[in-house]
Structures are given as structure tokens and as C-alpha cells.
Amino acid sequence: MHRIIAVALLGCLSLGAHAKPPANPDEAAMALADDAPVAEQLAKVERALHSEDYSELSVADKSRVQAALDRIRTRMAGRERFDQLTPPQKVEVFNDQEVVNTLMTNAKEDSRMVCRSERPIGSNRPQRTCMTVAQRRQATEDARQMKRELRISEPKDDR
């Protein structure tokens, strides 16, 4: 969905049209709207960056997002709204916006909490286990790695 929005936005920029925000605010981490001050929109993204929704965003990726936001702020150079930029400036801002959207969208998905009911070994009583998508992925990878290591260390049976 983000790719469709990105392609549509890029098409609008090349035609000199204005960028529009997505219909659903949760569709994109950042979509610069023509009718709202950019400083407020950037502050909103920065607040979201430090929220629980993006807890799986690495320090390096947070730095990349912050650098992109700083570049957007610099390109705005005192202008209040996105539609006050020239077409080449809009493209540069759009590229930084894509960096922010890509990193934050992936982190938001990884930060999503998933709970399921599991029965521990030796018990019929289910327990609720909650982990983020990233934690689940890491636990699965750790189990696979342990299985590989056990296979390697198994003695060969020479019958």
C-alpha cells in the first residue's frame, strides 16, 4: 500500500500537483499535507518515533529517521507548508519522507504485540504468551540455530 502511495505521490510531484495525506492516518508514518504546517507534522513524527509503536526501531534506524527529518526541516528553510517548495525541493523532501516511511513502517510491524495461548510441557492448562513480532522471529531463529548446533555435535553412528 505504501508503494502505491509513493508512486502516486511521485507522479503528482512530477506534474507539479500537491501531495495529499493518506485517507487513513495509520496508512503511512509520514505524509506531508499541504494544508498543515510542516513543523507540526515533523513534531508529530518525532513523538511517534519515541512511542511504544516503534519500540523495535534500532538506534541506527532512529538516527537515520532523525537525520531525514532534519534534512526536511532544513529544506523547508522558514517555509510553513509543503506546497511552498519548488518541484526539485519537493522531490528531495519526498525522498527523505520515503526513508522515514520505510524505516518506521517496518519497525511498527515488528513492534506489534502478538499474544497466543500455549500449553507448557507437562500441563494442560494454557498460558497466555505475548511477544512482539520481532521477538517471535528472534525466538524462532534462536531455536533453529540451536537445532543446527545440536545436529553438528551429534556423534555419527557407524554401524
Tens digit of each residue's pLDDT (9 = 90 or more) over 3-40? 444 434 444 433 333 333 344 444 445 666 666 788 88
Q: Is residue 158 part of a domain?
A: no
Q: Using CA atoms in the order 88, 94, 99, 102, what is the torsion angle rounded to 10 degrees?
A: -150
Torsion sign over Cα 68, 70, 75, 79:
positive
pLDDT of residue 94: 87
Looking at the fold, whether 8 and 33 belong to one and the same domain comes out as: yes
Q: What are the contacts of 20-28 at 24+ separation with CB within 8 A?
A: 27/1, 27/2, 28/2, 28/101, 28/105
- Considering the chain, what percentage of its residues have pLDDT values greater than 90? 4
Is 16 among the domain residues?
yes
Q: Which domain holds residue 39?
A: 2-111
Q: Based on the fold, state whether residues 68 and 131 are members of the same structural domain.
A: no
Given this model, what pLDDT does residue 32 score?
67
Answer yes or no: do 22 and 47 share one domain: yes
Q: Is residue 159 part of a domain?
A: no
Number of independent structural domains in the chain:
2
pLDDT digits (tens, 9 = 90+) for 83-124: 888 889 888 988 988 888 888 887 777 777 888 898 888 888
Question: CA nearest 47: which of 29, 32, 31?
Answer: 29
